[in-house]
Amino acid sequence: MVRRGIGCLLAGERRPSASSGSRTAILPVIWSPMRDDQSPPAVRELQFFLPQRLKDPDIAQRYLTEGVYGFLVLNDEAAYQAVAWRLACRIVDAYHAYHVEPWIPADPGQLRESFRGGGG
Whole-number Å distance between alpha carbons of 67 and 34: 10
Is 118 inside any structural domain? no
Residue 100 belongs to domain spanning: 2-110
Q: Are 96 and 73 in contact (CB under 8 A)?
A: no
Residue 103's pLDDT is what? 78
Residue 99 has pLDDT above 90, yes or no: no
Is 57 inside any structural domain? yes
Is 36 inside any structural domain? yes
DSSP 106: S
Counting the structural domains of the chain, the total is: 1
3-state DSSP call for residue 2? strand
Is 119 inside any structural domain? no
The model's pLDDT over 28-83, given as tens digits with 9 standing for 90+, comes to 899 998 777 777 777 777 778 899 999 998 999 999 999 999 999 999 999 999 99
Residue 46's pLDDT is what? 74
Is 115 inside any structural domain? no
Residue 4's pLDDT is what? 46
Is 20 inside any structural domain? yes
> Which residue type, as a one-letter code, is found at position 61?
Q
